[in-house]
Chain A
């Protein structure tokens, strides 16, 4: 059978936006002309996913369909198409390690292995305490800082097996690791310092 199960998490718990999220949702709906409110389906799914804790339940899909006045199947189509919507429950921290060619050339295989070893799970699994879900993903567009992984909304770049595990440890301890590059360089500037325009005075940092 086909690899993916796209059935959203079935749940008896009814879903409704919190007052705060409803206001946010209305703000997105208001961006589009009257009668075109369906265009707001993607931000609304994201709001619902955040409210639930990282994934979408079936009642949430139905709720959004009702909220936007569109057929349920159309909402499900969108939610199942994009990989950023999770239809199955995931851990609190969604660890997505990029393994597309540039990251792979820079050692993403080692990063995956280090994460697996540290968390004690395989790719696609969730730790028993529900803290981490580990996934392999395709290019996240940060190739210049490869290898990298995304956890939640943040990118952690220029990883080594050690720094990757350090980030995971910090998250497990409830700390907030510094997002971005983990190698000490500034954003995506050359790792060993500037190699061009060295003769002119650079503005002070």
Chain B
């Protein structure tokens, strides 16, 4: 292990560490623009120059590996002069437009010019000006500000795995662009906005709408997919202005998908801000008391077996727990949180978790995808698989629809019968799995939400056992969920009780008149036409499919407007925090259920969210260990039926429109239209 001296302090570091990283380990800050710890090293901005004894000139610390007995100085006049020189060069062609720049206030160039610059320039000639490029509806470009750090190019090439951005020309004339200004297609392109150290790439939907120092920052959790990406919600007044990633190496590293980042304008549209009651066939605004009265009147005398509840994709665990207990007190066992009809076994925790964990992907050396497209279903998780693929020695194969996953993935065909073949060792990929040290399988909702899902689940579990996926200290069986609420619902046990109906049973019952009252807790992804003549109570935040069919609407809070616990696909409970207040008369969801229970004479014993969380912790251990993981013991689910030969259909048809918030978002609608080819490539120039 090399030992070196930095500013008189000795440090021993891992071989292969760079001088810059060694300095960071000692807490010495080295200015940088092109260097980023999650991207390859470019060494082109020269901002990180430090002095190395016996070297003829300053060295770029980001690109210099440490060597034994190196002596580094970061605080000498030479280093100061070098930094000032580099800074002065960078600013030669950088416009002085900070007052109108969206990066202003959170700009690396601004900050480092203050910290390391000379304060004035000796350059009196004309500055370079560069034409702005169109690279899609999400990322705005002001290319004159570009300092050629190439972080965006390296991100799209390495992390996103879609080689779209490049640099044409050379020297001062180098320009960042996509091929002939085509829109980027990556589901993670928004991250280049965060990576850009200057204001060259900024958020198009957020352009000119707020200054960073005006924003109230709330650390929270994303609900757009089941990954539970850690986010920061920036709000001003009652409005969510933007969503940014927070670093969590176990979950999302520091990336988020475009849906997570840009769907927040959907929080301002199509909102349910007052209760509604259907009178004479029309939904009319009402007071909370009137809405509760209408529910109480309808529920009066209805047998528990004729009442049902379905929890949607974005629900917090607290509200699901209260709804479950309310339904139990009404004598109903007809509850289900699997609104897509996924045939998950509620009794077998290891059968619905992503057991290998997201960070565990990096240990895997063979991967079988069954009926899932991680790029569309969990874009950031897909980036993790790609990261593993880039490290080498990784074999992946897929049973399912053909898709470009950004990593080399052998297409075994879209035949569900292959699962049994691999399990029986009658397929070449079985040998690859068996030979691997840490093999894993990811099964998606395209498989489990099918009619034969109950047969597919144990089939994949048997494959896991047969191919050595279940080892001491390693569980290679993984389920890829598409909904942020799903695992939380399963942990709580928001599933049919003894003799209760599941989603399909509830819809059948409603169509046949056997179910008279259906409570939809943010459930919009069901076929509402099949609810028949049932009395539908919809509690949620957006006027989407469920609300359109409802007889009573109880306006709830979106994920940015309530404190809530969400369990991600690994079984990691994480706390979302309230960034803004719900609009109008809308309330936090658990309080609505608490109030309704009182009106129905079945008062639930919770007066504070703390009390609800205590109960949650008693119900399932994951809620007692927030932010940490509770592993599950392995078992094969009973299941039943036979696997059908029909090919898998994609679980996510349109990445940009998977939930009510995204469907209300104009930005997402634009992305969706662009992705489907329903929109011309370039904007009309009337906006942004």
Interface residue ranges, A against B (CB under 8 Å): 1-4, 6-7, 58, 70-74, 76-77, 80-81
Contact = CB atoms under 8 A, between A and B. Distances in A.
B394 to A, nearest CB: 16
Interface in B113-164: 128-131, 163-164
A71 B175 contact: no
A73 B179 contact: yes
B457 interface: no
B180 interface: yes
B169 A6 contact: yes
B505 interface: no
A7 B177 CA distance: 11
Contact of A4 (B169, B177, B178): B169
Contacts of A80: 168-170
Nearest to A73: B166
Highest count of chain A CB atoms <10 Å: which of B167, B175, B179: B179
Given A76-B179, A77-B166, A80-B169, 12 more contacts: A1-B129, A1-B130, A4-B169, A58-B180, A71-B166, A71-B179, A73-B163, A74-B166, A77-B167, A77-B168, A80-B168, A81-B170
B75 interface: no
Interface in B88-129: 128-129
B173 A73 contact: no
Residue of B130, B131, B168 ringed by the most chain A CB atoms within 10 A: B168
B180 A74 contact: no
Nearest to A10: B180
A4 B168 CA distance: 10
A82 B130 CA distance: 20
B165 interface: yes
Contact of A1 (B131, B163, B165, B168): B131
A51 B348 CA distance: 66
A74 B169 contact: no
Contacts of A77: 166-168
A156 to B, nearest CB: 27
B315 to A, nearest CB: 41
B376 to A, nearest CB: 21
B180 A2 contact: no
Contacts of A2: 128-131, 169, 172-173, 175
11 contacts: A2-B130, A6-B173, A7-B180, A71-B166, A72-B180, A73-B163, A73-B165, A73-B166, A73-B179, A77-B168, A81-B170
Nearest to A83: B170
A103 B273 CA distance: 78
A6 B168 contact: yes
B154 to A, nearest CB: 13
Contacts of A7: 180
Nearest to A79: B168
Interface in B545-564: none
Contacts of A76: 166, 168, 179
B131 A3 contact: no
Interface string B167-191: 1111011010111100000000000
A70 B169 CA distance: 19
A118 B169 CA distance: 32
Nearest to A62: B179
Contacts of B163: 70-71, 73-74
A27 B169 CA distance: 28
B169 A81 contact: yes
The 6 closest A-B pairs by CB, nearest first: A73-B166, A71-B163, A80-B168, A72-B179, A73-B179, A6-B168
A113 to B, nearest CB: 27
A79 to B, nearest CB: 8
A78 to B, nearest CB: 9
A73 B165 CA distance: 7
Contacts of B130: 1-2
A7 B179 CA distance: 10
A1 B129 CA distance: 4
A84 to B, nearest CB: 12
Contacts of B167: 77
Q: Which of B175, B177, B180 has the most CB of A within 10 A?
A: B180
Nearest to B173: A4
Interface string B554-578: 0000000000000000000000000
Contacts of B169: 2, 4, 6, 80-81
Nearest to B129: A1
A61 B121 CA distance: 41
Contacts of A58: 180
Contacts of A4: 169, 173
A58 B180 CA distance: 9
Contacts of A70: 163
Contacts of A71: 163-164, 166, 179
A135 B347 CA distance: 77
B173 A3 contact: yes
A38 to B, nearest CB: 11
Contact of A73 (B129, B164, B172): B164
Contacts of B129: 1-2
A80 B178 CA distance: 13
B510 to A, nearest CB: 51
A3 B177 CA distance: 16
A1 B130 CA distance: 5
Contacts of B180: 7, 58, 72
Contacts of A74: 163, 166
Contacts of A73: 163-166, 177-179
A81 B170 CA distance: 5
A70 B130 CA distance: 27
Contacts of B170: 80-81
Contacts of B179: 71-73, 76
Nearest to A80: B168
A2 B170 CA distance: 12
A50 to B, nearest CB: 22
A2 B177 CA distance: 14
A74 B168 CA distance: 9
Nearest to A7: B180
A77 B166 CA distance: 7
Nearest to A58: B180
**Which residue of A6, A70, A71, A73 has the most chain B CB atoms within 10 A of its CB atom?**
A73
A124 B131 CA distance: 22
A73 B172 CA distance: 19
Nearest to B131: A1
A137 B627 CA distance: 62
